[in-house]
Amino acid sequence: MAFAVMTMTDAAAGRVKSIVANSGPDARGVRVGIKKGGCAGMEYTIDLVTEPNPKDDHVVHDGAEVWIDPAAVLYLLGTQMDFEVTTLRSGFTFHNPNQTSACGCGESVELKAADLAELARQRELAGDAR
């Protein structure tokens, strides 16, 4: 199995497919990135994709397509994208091992770049476990 920058839960994939289905014939998926903003310093971005950027990383789960902005890759390595529905809100959530803190409202996060040496070590260990 090839290494993926990010993974998606079934719930996230279902929501991405729903967004695409309701966004017209040119919609292909969504693009995930990060931008500076919020009280913790960074915010996740999600935009509709009609024409994929060939430089983006590409993740597919159960037919749902997500592209990842190259500028965000080091911050999103190992992240799991989910979609949650609660009594008060619904939306995408990101379970990110590179997150060091979040603001009280949950809309912005502080991220550090992924430790590539540690990721390689974990992949080796996972390979040994198989």
pLDDT of residue 75: 84
Summarize pLDDT for 43-90 with one digit per residue, the tens: 889 999 999 999 999 999 999 999 999 999 988 988 999 999 999 889
pLDDT of residue 102: 61
User: What residue ranges do the domains of the chain occupy?
Assistant: 6-129
Pick the CATH number of 6-129 from 2.60.300.12, 3.40.50.300, 3.90.470.10, 3.30.450.20: 2.60.300.12
The candidate with the shortest Cα–Cα distance to 67, out of 42, 48, 91, is 48
Q: Are 14 and 38 in contact (CB under 8 A)?
A: no
Please tell me whether residue 116 adopts helix, strand or coil conformation: helix
The candidate with the shortest Cα–Cα distance to 50, out of 20, 27, 67, is 27
Q: What is the pTM of this model?
A: 0.78
Structure tokens at 54: 């060939």
What span, in angstroms and rounded, lies between the C-alpha atoms of 9 and 106? Answer: 20
pLDDT of residue 42: 79
pLDDT of residue 43: 86
pLDDT of residue 56: 95
* Residue whose structure tokens are 């597919």: 60
